[in-house]
Each structure stands twice: as structure tokens, then as C-alpha cells.
Amino acid sequence: MPATRILQKLEFTRELPTVPVVLTRLLRYMEKPLDQVDVHQIVNLILQDKSLAGHCLQVANSPLFGSSDENEVVTIQASVMAVGVSRIQQIAASCSLLRLMPTISFGLNPAVFWAHSLGCAVVSREFAAQIGYPEPAKAYAAGLLHDIGVIALLWVSPQDFRRCFEEASRNRIPLYEAEHRVFGITHCESGKIIAQNWRLSEDITDVIVGHHSPEIVQSRSVLTSIISVSDLLCRIGGLGYGYSEDRQTDFREETAFTILAAKYPALRPFDLARFTFETEGLIEEVRAVVSQVYGAH
Amino acid sequence: MPAMMASPSFLRATGSTGNERCEPLIKIRDLIYKTAGIFQADNKLQLLERHCNKRMKALGVPTLRDYYGCLTVNSMHQAEMVSLLNEITVGETFFFRNRPQLDAIRKIVLPTIIDAKSRSKTGQSALRIWCAGCSTGEEPFTLSMMLLDDPQGTLKGCSIEIIATDINERSIAHAKVGCYDDHSTRNLEPHFRNKYFSISGDKLQVTPAVQANVSFSRLNLLDDSRMLFPKGIDLILCCNVLIYFDAVSKKRVIQHFYRNLSPHGYLLLGHSESLFGISQDFRLVHMPSATGYVKSEKGAADSPS
């Protein structure tokens, strides 16, 4: 299917995934300073959806979260006490995405895709915090949603997507390269349509559009670059799309890293090796949480 | 078990219970990284605590805070750090120990080196690999059989020379015999076990073909005069060795490695080991689930891109 046809289909189809209501509201809350957040509102929002609440508890209680059997939380209220309001919003936003996951695999396993999104969110937040970016929570949200365009492609053209995914995993190349060959566009373009459709903020839209080419996002390239670096670290660390890309990466040659190094002096002597090892630890934890959530499905 | 463990890095609660107790452990983790260059990620903190507990029992030290003192202010703190590192690295080696690293060597490092060699004036020649700190030989033999196997034909008929050195005479003697027990061979796939070993009583003996590529000798990495000898090395593996050296010695060894390597040479360290703060002569590169260092032209390495 030619690129224009795909884009048209994305623009006009009524079958596009609709934004989970919970996610829209959470993203709005997440932009507020913490002291202006009404905890009850968030708790009620989560409680409106039983399956969401269940998933949130699972994630908040995951053994990797450090909770042992004796301090397991059984209510959303208690989990807010245990992990804090900011983290419960992040957990809920992540779990609200579960609803969008296709129930059958089109090459790409839904659990693998969710793990990549969640992993990228967590790594982006940690990376943002370490380099001194003032809004790590925004980095989390952007990391979570950066690949939403993959879902869009999968949705409008499942058979082509399967072909594209198979090509990528067979040749061990990044997914966007295969998308470009098969569709003529990538998940960055399809993601843009979703982002506009869902009325996501400009920051997050930029990340969705530019995480594979942060130079195209002029004004807000910092957040995009943070997610770009984190996305790459996740893919290298084994939390990509279920296959490893057989490549060697020198981060100092990556555009995203260059953009960040110019903005954040902390990055010039940044211990990327150490952050990579930290990321490996995070990835293992994310994997365990994901297998718990999906195992219980 | 008290809520001591890794306050979960992932979605970590701020100010949760147990954080105060975690603090000395984090300090110990950071101290190990600073002095030895080996990092324990948050999800490995519980394991690190177990290693510390073992040492604390041996020393009769009651708390982690006191143990941190043993690692910093006590007169014996350097010796204690070595004992703790021995716990962490378990002081053992086995065949196919670090698979992501081996995959990276096979799929990325060697093809890149061969490509660089074929472009250079000298054309293709032998691949020279150095296992610096080879212990009882499992690592160089793993490489030897992996390269003999070469199902994808990556090596394009290159000849292979593996130099394996260790400071410990007894380890070298063991390596030269090439006979291993269940413990060393526990990670072996049947394919490799059947093809590259023969049974010798209750042990496994590596075949002469695997041994033929490897030469063992005793070498102290701090022996400056002998460190000048190896030249034109394409790949140095030095796993869990530098962690025992102080910063000055580490820098010296790394400088030697730099000169020992051919222009596109690679230096690979053990899992979670880093050269940060030790050398800027190498570029850090990322490969699937593995990191490595590539020799870069002098002066270029340091620029903040």
C-alpha cells in the first residue's frame, strides 16, 4: 500500500484507536505541580475502571518494586501511600495503554510492545533526572507514548505490518527502516496523526514525530533527544521489539546525544557506561513486571 | 526478611520505609564502582548485601555501616575490598560465561576488525586476540571453539592466534592441560561439548584443534618491560582483572593496552566494568547487551562531541 494511501487511511478511518479517557486525564494531571494534584481525584479515576485498578496494583506490588508479601498493598489508596502520587499516576498511565494493545500478535507480540513502552518511559525518566532535565515525569509520559504510531500502522494495515515486522526481525534492523521500505512512511508519521487525533501536547507530539531524527524538531529537541537516547538504550539492552539489532552504537556520534551535550554540561563527562548498567537493571525489573501483568491475562 | 532490599529503582517510592537502611549499601556500591570500576545495578543490591553479610560474618562486624568503615578507614581496607570483590566475582570462570559479549564478538567485533584489516594496506592477516587474565583457560578456549565453529563464515578463512596470559602459574599449568570438570562445563551446549571435547574419566578434555589456536604464558600486567611486547593485537579481553588494581596501575595497564592494539582494536572488559575516569583514549561503544571500547585516534577521543 503506498504511503499516501496509508496516511489517508489513518486520517479518515473511524477505526483508529481512541485515546483511553483515563490517559487523557492523567496526562493533564501529570503536567500540574504535585501540590496541586488532588489525590482523591486520581484514586477515583483509577477506581472507575476495575481492570485498570487491578493492573495498577499488580505493578505497584511487583516484587521488583521491593515489596514483600507482608507489605503488599491491596487497595489503590494504599498504593498511593506506598509509592506516592506521582508514581501512581505513571503506573496508571502505563496500564491504561494496555487497553490499546492488539489482542493478537501481528508479528510483534503485544507484551513485547508494552514492555518497550514501559521500559522507555522508566529509562527516560531516570536519564532526564540524571542530566538535570527539570521535568522527569514528562519524560516518562513521552517515553511511554513515543511509539504509539506503531499501533496505528498495525491497526490500519495489519498484514503489511506483519511483513514489515518480519523483515525487520529477519535482517535485525530497526523497525522504522523496515517500515520505510514497506509503507514508505514510519511510525513517526503515523504517530503524528494519532497524537493530533488524541490532542496530545505539543511536547509529546514532537517526541512521537522526532525520536528517530531529533534534529527535525526545532524548538523542543531536548525532550525528544532524551527519549531518543533512552529508546536506543532500551533496544540495545534487549528491550526492543523482541529481536536484537546487530549494530554497534557510539552514542557520542548520535544526533540526540550531541543536542543534549550542547544543552546540559553534565553530559560532557557523563558516565554513560554506568547509566547503561543501571538501565540493564531497570530492564530486568520491567521484564518481570510485564510478565506478571501478561501472565495473569 | 526486612524491607532492606533494593528500594526498587523502578517506580521507586520516595521516602519509603527501608531507604535509611539501604543507604550504607548504596555507599558501598558506589565505593566499589569508584575504586574497582565494577557496578552493581539496583536490582543486584540484594545480592550485594548477601556478599557483604558473608564478609561481615567473617569479620564479626554487626552492621553495614560498620562494614563500610572496614572498606574505607580501617588500615586493612584495601585488603578487605579485595575480599569483597572476590565474593562479587566469585573468582571462578566457566565456558561460554558471558554470552551477550561472545555474540557481540562474533557478530560485530570480528566482522568490523576483518573489514578494517581488508581495507588497510597490509590486507588480511591473522586475527590476534589476547585474553589478559585468562585464569584456567575457559575463556580463551571458548573463543577458540567459537571461532573454529564460525557457522556464518564470518572469518573468511582468517587464521586465528589467541594469546592467553595470567599472573597465576598454577592457573596457567591447569589451562595448558585443558581438562575440565562439570562446574566449568555447565554452560556448554551439546553441540560444542560433542564437537570440541573428548571424555577423560569424569572430566572433559578440549580437543587438540581447540588447543592449537591458543598459547598460554605467565604475565604480570604491571610488568612494564614485558607489556611492551604484544603488538598488533586486534582484540583484548580483560574481564574482572582491572577491578583489583588501584587507579594508577589501572591507568598504566590501559595505556599499554592502547599501544598493544592495532589501529581498529577493541578492548572488552567484564560484565558491568567500566573505564570511566581511567582513560579517554578509547571510545565506548554499545552492542546488543554488551559494551566495549574501541581504540580511537589520540586527541579525538576526548572532544565533547
Q: Read off the pLDDT of residues B284-305 as tens digits, 9 standing for 90 and up.
A: 999 999 999 999 865 444 433 3
Confidence of residue A296 (pLDDT cuts 50, 70, 90): low
Cβ neighbours for A76, distance < 8 A, ≥ 6 positions apart: A43, A46, A47, A53, A56, A57, A88
Question: Of A87-101, B37-51, B86-100, B169-183, where does mean pLDDT reach its minimum?
Answer: B86-100
% of chain B at pLDDT higher than 70: 88
What pLDDT shows up at residue B276?
A: 93
Task: Tell me whether residues B286 and A236 touch, CB distance under 8 A.
Answer: yes
Q: Identify which of A230, A205, A260 has the alpha carbon closest to the alpha carbon of residue A119.
A: A230
Confidence of residue B10 (pLDDT cuts 50, 70, 90): very low
What pLDDT shows up at residue A68?
A: 55
Q: Is the pLDDT of residue A15 over 80?
A: no
Residue of A nearest to B37 (CA): A274
> Is residue B262 a contact partner of residue B234, using CB atoms and an 8 Å limit?
yes
**Grid coordinates belonging to B8:** 526498587
Residues in chain B closer than 8 A to A277 (CB atoms): 39, 41, 272, 274
Q: Please state the domain extents for chain B.
A: 19-89, 99-295
Phi, psi of A44 (to 5 degrees): -65, -40
Q: How far is A67 from chain B (nearest CA, A)?
A: 7
What pLDDT shows up at residue B190?
A: 95
Residue predicted with more confidence, B169 or A15: B169
What pLDDT shows up at residue A8?
A: 82
C-alpha distances in Å from residue A98, one per residue of A16, A53, A293? 16, 12, 10
For CA atoms B38, A290, B10, A21, the dihedral sign is positive
Please tell me which of A57-71, A252-266, B197-211 the model is most confident about, judged by mean pLDDT. Answer: B197-211
Give the CATH number of domain A3-279: 1.10.3210.10
3-state secondary structure chain B: CCCCCCCCCCCCCCCCCCHHHHHHHHHHHHHHHHHHCECCCHHHHHHHHHHHHHHHHHHCCCCHHHHHHHHHCCCCHHHHHHHHHHHHHCCCCCCCCCHHHHHHHHHHHHHHHHHHHHHCCCCCCCEEEEEECCCCCHHHHHHHHHHHHCCCCCCCCCCEEEEEEECCHHHHHHHHHCEECCCCCCCCCHHHHHHHEEEECCEEEECHHHHHCEEEEECCCCCHHHHCCCCCEEEEEECCCHHHCCHHHHHHHHHHHHHHEEEEEEEEECCCECCCCCCCCEEEEEECCEEEEEECCCCCCCCCC
Task: Tell me whether residues B42 and A82 touch, CB distance under 8 A.
Answer: no
Of B112, B274, B289, which has the smallest distance from its Cβ to A274's Cβ?
B274
State the Cα–Cα distance between residues B267 and B104, nearest whole angstrom.
Answer: 12
State the Cα–Cα distance between residues B210 and B191, nearest whole angstrom.
Answer: 14
Question: Of A10-19, A197-206, B214-223, where does mean pLDDT reach its minimum?
Answer: A10-19
Q: What average pLDDT score do residues B87-102 get?
A: 86
Q: What average pLDDT score do residues B257-261 get?
A: 96
Residues in chain A closer than 8 A to B18 (CB atoms): 66
% of chain B at pLDDT higher than 90: 64
Whole-model pTM over 0.90: no
What's chain A's average pLDDT?
88
What pLDDT shows up at residue A17?
A: 76
% of chain A at pLDDT higher than 90: 54
Residue of B nearest to A267 (CA): B304
Q: What is the pLDDT of residues A107-136, one digit of tens each?
A: 888 899 999 999 999 999 999 999 999 999
Thinking of the domain B19-89, which architecture would CATH place it in? Answer: Orthogonal Bundle (1.10)
Task: Tell me whether residues B276 and A285 touch, CB distance under 8 A.
Answer: no
Task: Tell me whether residues B286 and A280 touch, CB distance under 8 A.
Answer: no
- The DSSP bridge partners found for residue B132 are B165
Confidence of residue A32 (pLDDT cuts 50, 70, 90): confident
What pLDDT shows up at residue B1?
A: 32
Q: Is the pLDDT of residue B107 over 50?
A: yes
Confidence of residue B9 (pLDDT cuts 50, 70, 90): very low
Task: Tell me whether residues B39 and A277 touch, CB distance under 8 A.
Answer: yes
Residue predicted with more confidence, A255 or A34: A255
What pLDDT shows up at residue A156?
A: 86
Q: Please state the domain extents for chain A.
A: 3-279
What pLDDT shows up at residue B181?
A: 93
Residue predicted with more confidence, B82 or B196: B196
Q: What average pLDDT score do residues A75-100 get?
A: 88
What pLDDT shows up at residue B16?
A: 36
**Which of B1, B9, B11 is the best residue to mutate to test the A interface, defined by the most A CB atoms within 10 Å of its own CB?**
B11
Thinking of the domain B99-295, which architecture would CATH place it in? Answer: 3-Layer(aba) Sandwich (3.40)
> Is residue B184 a contact partner of residue B94, using CB atoms and an 8 Å limit?
yes
* Residue carrying the nine cell digits 500500500: A1
Residue predicted with more confidence, A81 or A188: A188
Confidence of residue B216 (pLDDT cuts 50, 70, 90): very high
What pLDDT shows up at residue A1?
A: 67
Q: What is the pLDDT of residues B130-152, one digit of tens each?
A: 999 999 999 999 999 999 998 77
Q: What average pLDDT score do residues B38-59 get?
A: 90
Confidence of residue B4 (pLDDT cuts 50, 70, 90): very low
**Which of A171, A228, A243, A280 is the best residue to mutate to test the B interface, defined by the most B CB atoms within 10 Å of its own CB?**
A280
Residues in chain B closer than 8 A to A236 (CB atoms): 286-289
